[in-house]
């Protein structure tokens, strides 16, 4: 006699899966994997990190004279792996959106090629983020320490890659990539958020940046900052409408200190400084300062 009633549990799980698939209008036909794999994406991102920063995030025994060979070999393998995940997402989305058409294989290959071509630009953006962290943190002893140790940089590597996937029409892959960083760092950046060069998240834990946030260049934020939505317009069925601009716009050279909460489609003007633990739901002018001791209207 088995210690556990495996057979009945397996049958009950089968029934639960079938009930879910019927409720979600999923295919009951036998077949392969329907959705992209979180584990596969985690491996792909780790390999892309090695290709982007081979001498710092690559293998221990790599030498500079073989750097290009390693990068080419790594890219060839990882882009083929990514192509497989792109195919899964496109197939899944078209199965649930019959109006979509086109050659699935060709579209997946085009998206993966476009992603590949964007990698040098992503590397330049990440270099600007590393420099922003190094110059913005007096505790940083070098740019290599920043890349290897800072959770904000890890989050931005994932975000820069995820943001490109998001704009290639691959929101599920993008969200998985973002959530991998979220689980490691406590920094939650939606892949749709637009973030300019030289972005520095200091410490980072508890930072939340929403889907439609727009952040300019040379912006610095600290832990527990929220760039969130104030309200959610509803559709005719009472469900929140998706895709509407609902998160803050942060212009260039803004600093937001720990615990600040900025909600809604408000604008923080260029060079504004937002103090810790403040709650903002209105625009802040360029060069403005908001602290706990001063109300939003500037009255004591």
Output 33 or 153, whichever has higher pLDDT.
Answer: 153
Cα 198 → chain centroid: 16
d(CA 251, CA 272): 8
Distance between first and last Cα of the chain: 76
What average pLDDT does the segment 248-270 reach? Answer: 98
State residue 122's pLDDT score: 98
pLDDT tier, 31 (very low <50, low <70, confident <90, very high otherwise): low
State residue 300's pLDDT score: 43
What tens digit of pLDDT does each residue of 123-168 get?
999 999 999 999 999 999 999 999 999 999 999 999 999 999 999 9
What tens digit of pLDDT does each residue of 57-111 get?
999 999 999 999 999 999 999 999 999 999 999 998 988 776 667 899 999 999 9
Q: Where is 195: in which H helix or E strand?
A: strand 194-195
State residue 176's pLDDT score: 98
Q: Are the C-beta atoms of residues 260 and 225 closer than 8 Å to each other?
A: yes
Q: Where is 118: in which H helix or E strand?
A: none
Whether pLDDT at 287 is above 50: yes
Write down the pTM of the prediction: 0.90
Show the beta-strand stretches assigned E in 120-276. 188-189, 194-195, 200-201, 208-209, 214-215, 220-221, 226-228, 249-250, 255-256, 261-263, 267-268, 273-274
Whether pLDDT at 185 is above 70: yes
What average pLDDT does the segment 47-52 reach? Answer: 98
- For the CA atoms of the chain, what is the radius of gyration? 22
Give the residue among 152, 145, 163, 148 at the shortest CA–CA distance from 129: 152
Whether pLDDT at 53 is above 50: yes
pLDDT tier, 29 (very low <50, low <70, confident <90, very high otherwise): low
d(CA 23, CA 243): 25
State residue 28's pLDDT score: 63
pLDDT tier, 253 (very low <50, low <70, confident <90, very high otherwise): very high
Give the residue among 279, 177, 281 at the shortest CA–CA distance from 225: 279
Q: Is 65 left (phi over 0), alpha (psi -120 to 50) or beta?
A: alpha
Give the residue among 120, 115, 128 at the shortest CA–CA distance from 71: 120
What average pLDDT does the segment 19-23 reach? Answer: 87
Judged by DSSP in three states, 53 sits in coil
Q: What is the mean pLDDT of the chain?
A: 92
State residue 231's pLDDT score: 78
Token pair of 187, please?
């920094």
State residue 298's pLDDT score: 45
What tens digit of pLDDT does each residue of 209-241 get?
999 999 999 999 999 999 999 877 777 777 777
């Amino acid at each position: 006699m088995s210690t556990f009633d495996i057979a009945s549990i397996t049958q009950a799980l089968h029934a639960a899966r079938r009930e879910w698939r019927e409720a979600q209008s999923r295919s009951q036909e036998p077949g392969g994997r329907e959705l992209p794999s979180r584990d596969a994406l985690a491996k792909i991102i780790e390999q892309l990190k090695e290709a982007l920063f081979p001498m710092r995030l690559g293998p221990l025994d790599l030498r500079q004279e073989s750097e290009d060979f390693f990068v080419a070999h790594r890219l060839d393998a990882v882009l083929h792996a990514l192509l497989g995940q792109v195919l899964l997402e496109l197939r899944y989305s078209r199965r649930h959106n019959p109006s979509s058409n086109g050659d699935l294989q060709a579209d997946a290959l085009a998206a993966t090629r476009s992603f590949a071509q964007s990698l040098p630009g992503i590397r330049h953006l990440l270099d600007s983020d590393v420099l922003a962290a190094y110059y913005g943190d007096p505790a940083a002893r070098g740019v290599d320490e920043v890349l290897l140790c800072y959770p904000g940089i890890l989050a931005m590597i994932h975000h820069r890659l995820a943001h490109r996937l998001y704009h290639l029409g691959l929101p599920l892959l993008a969200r998985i990539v973002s959530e991998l960083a979220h689980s490691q760092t406590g920094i939650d950046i939606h892949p749709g958020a637009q973030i300019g060069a030289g972005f520095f998240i200091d410490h980072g834990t508890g930072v939340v940046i929403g889907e439609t946030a727009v952040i300019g260049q040379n912006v610095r934020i600290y832990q527990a900052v929220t760039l969130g939505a104030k309200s959610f317009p509803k559709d005719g069925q009472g469900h929140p409408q998706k895709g509407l601009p609902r998160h803050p716009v942060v212009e260039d050279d803004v600093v937001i200190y720990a615990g600040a909460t900025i909600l809604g489609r408000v604008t923080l003007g260029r060079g504004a400084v937002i103090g810790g633990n403040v709650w903002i739901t209105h625009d802040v002018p360029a060069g403005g300062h908001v602290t706990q001791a001063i109300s939003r209207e500037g009255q004591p």
